[in-house]
Chain A
Amino acid sequence: MNVMMLLEMANSAFPDRIAFTNGATGETLSYSQLFSKAGTRAREIRASDSNRFVKLDVSSLVTPLSLFASGWAGIPYVPLNYRLTDEEIMRLIERVKPATLVTSEDRINSFQNLEGLEVLDSSDLLSHGGEDESLENDWDMDPEEIAVLLFTSGTTGEPKAAMLRHKHLVSYILGSVEFASADEKEASLVCVPPYHIAGIAAILSSVYSGRHVVQLPNFSAEEWIRLVRKHQVTNAMVVPTMLKRIVECLEETGATNAEMPHLASLAYGGGKMPLPVIEKAMALFPDTDFSNAYGLTETSSTISVLGPEDHRDAVASSDELVRRRLVSVGRALPGVEIQIRDDEGEEVAPNTRGEIYVRGEQVSGEYEGRGSVVDSDGWFPTRDAGSLDEDGFLFLEGRADDVIVRGGENLSPGEIEDVLMTHEAVSDVAVIGIADEQWGESVAAVIVLKPSLQVSEADFQSFVRERMRSSRVPEKIEFWTELPYNETGKLLRRVVREKLG
């Protein structure tokens, strides 16, 4: 197995179709161009001493080219987060040498003359060669070879390098995408960063389905809206903070309808979606199907999906248990199993909170230099907390490490946040545990109020007391103008905790 095989099939079925368009520059690559350039680059990589192919740059046509050329050459592709500091980047590069680094022109000088590092200019990688050459499809089909090394964000200590083998990525694609299922007119707008697993998955599943990808390298709501209209985009994937910005941007223009009837499907994931945002989005995009996906780097992207039918059923239902599924991440994909376990590792009953475990062909759970954290039966502990309802709908409750332990009682920050979010004056909220002499930990909340609304700490405390057990009432509440998020929409609780002191 090799991810190159997916491109080979696309190239033989529809060679002249446009595969990728850089939304910022308008440059394009057809499947045959992508295929032949990948082959040429692979030969060069093989001729070098590199064991890794590292990319440090925003999304561009070089992104899919690097992924496939690495697979063809038989070395791992390592996309790095270009938002890290130079020092952090240098530490990661030290870990993957000897390597070839492809980066933007303005960064090249920072990495020149390092031993074991060959530096290439992104634009050169794309411009020369790759036409009219006879190539042999000589990539390795060993399913155990590593396709991608992805550094996870690492909230504590050094980032971990998650290893995704060709078998994990190919299994994910074969299990979730029908080959050549996309119409030539379909286009997918991709705005997730290239160093994120969702960015890798988007390349592979679009290629296998034959769907044209339009890349948006630097997200802004205005640019997203412009590209969706310009390229008559049919599919898009966003993180919750992006959807919030898109909704706000449309509302600022006074729109009650986004007027993008061609946008058939809008998927979101990567963080918790506030209920008001998704409800507004569904009203603004009446012709669009919404899907919510949940997955991790270590699971080769999506493991559960809340599909369009689930969204509509939830909105239309009078049953509170069905309605609340709108904030769930849906049910496991075929071939994926999900379990919730308690601290002792025992599976818990439905609607009981615990740690999410997952099993399936696409699950890697392996880190370079640290081995596998998958148990002997194939189960991977996600470190995410959650619960399953009777019908298998999965509800996320934050990271297992975020649980607040107050006097021996486990409290879920998500549960308290959900209650506070229902208050009309609240725009955003984070609940965390802070050190407490008496209880070990106590509940603290940071609230972002809606413009020109004032509510006191005491009012919020009684609001929670009326709705939850008294142990859940925040003992400390601060009011901030905004909360810290990373670029994929994950709340940075660590930063909140530090700032709260």
Chain B
Amino acid sequence: MPTLKTGARLKSAVCDGEIMVVAAPSGDVDLTCGGEPMIDASSGESAGGDIHPDHAVGIAMGKRYINEAETLEVLCVKAGDGGLAADGALLLQKDTKKLPKTD
């Protein structure tokens, strides 16, 4: 499993989900969606296979997801039915603090 690069776009191998890496830890990360390793978004492969039932919480466009240690953060750019996990642990949804609109 390669290291994740900030700004990289990855897609799910089993659903329509697509993410961008916002922040990544150094070292290898096994990032999965629906239980299957995510693939480069520009690759020609299309989604197939089944979502693992333990990885089926879904991802919503515009939501950010983080690992427990908050060293990994991704942004969902296309919604999907699979759930995200890093090294086997499900990612958590990060809240955007509601701010007054200033621009």
**B-binding residues in A (CB < 8 A):** 1-2, 5, 8-9, 12-13, 141-143, 166-167, 171, 174-180, 188, 198, 201-202, 205, 208-209, 235, 237, 265, 267, 269, 289, 291, 293, 301-302, 305, 307-308, 333-334
Shortest beta-carbon distance from A394 to chain B in Å: 14
The verdict on B20 contacting chain A, using a C-beta distance below 8 Å, is yes
Interface contact B99-A307, CB-CB below 8 Å: yes
| Given known A-B contacts A142-B7, A267-B103, A301-B103, A8 and B97 have beta carbons under 8 A apart | no
Which residues of chain A are near B103, meaning CB under 8 Å? 198, 201-202, 205, 237, 267, 293, 301-302
Which A residue's beta carbon lies closest to that of B96?
Answer: A178
Interface contact B102-A293, CB-CB below 8 Å: yes
Which B residue's beta carbon lies closest to that of A234?
Answer: B101
The contact string, 1 if C-beta is below 8 Å from chain A, for chain B 72-103, is 00010110000000000000000011111111
Within 8 Å by CB of B99, from A141, A166, A269, A333, lies: A333
| Given known A-B contacts A201-B103, A265-B100, A291-B101, A12 and B75 have beta carbons under 8 A apart | no
Interface contact A289-B97, CB-CB below 8 Å: no
The verdict on B64 contacting chain A, using a C-beta distance below 8 Å, is yes
Which residues of chain B are near A174, meaning CB under 8 Å? 22, 64, 75, 96
Interface contact A8-B102, CB-CB below 8 Å: no
The verdict on B47 contacting chain A, using a C-beta distance below 8 Å, is no
Shortest beta-carbon distance from B9 to chain A in Å: 6
* 3 nearest A-B residue pairs (beta carbon): A179-B62, A293-B102, A143-B7
Which residues of chain A are near B98, meaning CB under 8 Å? 178
The verdict on B6 contacting chain A, using a C-beta distance below 8 Å, is yes
Interface contact B62-A267, CB-CB below 8 Å: no
| Given known A-B contacts A1-B6, A1-B7, A142-B7, A9 and B77 have beta carbons under 8 A apart | yes
Shortest beta-carbon distance from B15 to chain A in Å: 16
Shortest beta-carbon distance from B31 to chain A in Å: 16
Interface contact B100-A305, CB-CB below 8 Å: yes
Shortest beta-carbon distance from A333 to chain B in Å: 7
Which residues of chain B are near A291, meaning CB under 8 Å? 100-102
Provide the bound-state CA to CA distance between A334 and B101, in Å. 14
A-B contact count (CB 8 A): 79
The contact string, 1 if C-beta is below 8 Å from chain A, for chain B 9-51, is 1000000000010100000000000000000000000000000
Provide the bound-state CA to CA distance between A166 and B9, in Å. 15
Return 16 A-B CB contacts under 8 Å, by A number. A1-B20, A9-B62, A12-B61, A12-B78, A167-B7, A174-B96, A176-B96, A177-B96, A188-B101, A208-B62, A237-B103, A301-B103, A302-B102, A302-B103, A305-B102, A334-B99
Provide the bound-state CA to CA distance between A267 and B78, in Å. 32
Which residues of chain A are near B6, meaning CB under 8 Å? 1, 143, 167
Which residues of chain B are near A188, meaning CB under 8 Å? 101
Which A residue's beta carbon lies closest to that of B60?
Answer: A179
The verdict on B57 contacting chain A, using a C-beta distance below 8 Å, is no
Provide the bound-state CA to CA distance between A2 and B7, in Å. 8
Shortest beta-carbon distance from B23 to chain A in Å: 8
Provide the bound-state CA to CA distance between A1 and B9, in Å. 9
Which residues of chain B are near A334, meaning CB under 8 Å? 97, 99
Which residues of chain A are near B9, meaning CB under 8 Å? 141
Which residues of chain B are near A143, meaning CB under 8 Å? 6-7
Within 8 Å by CB of A180, from B8, B62, B102, lies: B62
Provide the bound-state CA to CA distance between A455 and B97, in Å. 49
Which residues of chain B are near A267, meaning CB under 8 Å? 100-103
Which A residue's beta carbon lies closest to that of B8?
Answer: A141
List 8 extra interface pairs beyond A9-B62, A141-B9, A208-B62, CB under 8 A: A5-B20, A12-B78, A13-B62, A141-B8, A142-B7, A179-B61, A188-B101, A334-B99
Which residues of chain A are near B78, meaning CB under 8 Å? 12
Which A residue's beta carbon lies closest to that of B6?
Answer: A143
Which residues of chain B are near A201, meaning CB under 8 Å? 103
Interface contact B77-A5, CB-CB below 8 Å: yes
Which residues of chain B are near A166, meaning CB under 8 Å? 7
Provide the bound-state CA to CA distance between A460 and B32, in Å. 71
Which A residue's beta carbon lies closest to that of B97?
Answer: A334
| Given known A-B contacts A5-B77, A9-B61, A237 and B102 have beta carbons under 8 A apart | yes
Which residues of chain A are near B75, meaning CB under 8 Å? 174
Provide the bound-state CA to CA distance between A143 and B64, in Å. 17
Shortest beta-carbon distance from B21 to chain A in Å: 9
| Given known A-B contacts A9-B77, A179-B62, A141 and B7 have beta carbons under 8 A apart | yes
Interface contact A307-B100, CB-CB below 8 Å: yes
Provide the bound-state CA to CA distance between A405 and B56, in Å. 65
Which residues of chain B are near A205, meaning CB under 8 Å? 101, 103
Which residues of chain B are near A2, meaning CB under 8 Å? 7
Which B residue's beta carbon lies closest to that of A180?
Answer: B62
Kindly name the residue among A1, A12, A265, A291 whose own CB sees the greatest number of chain B CB atoms within 10 A: A1
Which residues of chain B are near A12, meaning CB under 8 Å? 61, 78
Interface contact B99-A305, CB-CB below 8 Å: yes
Which B residue's beta carbon lies closest to that of A307?
Answer: B100
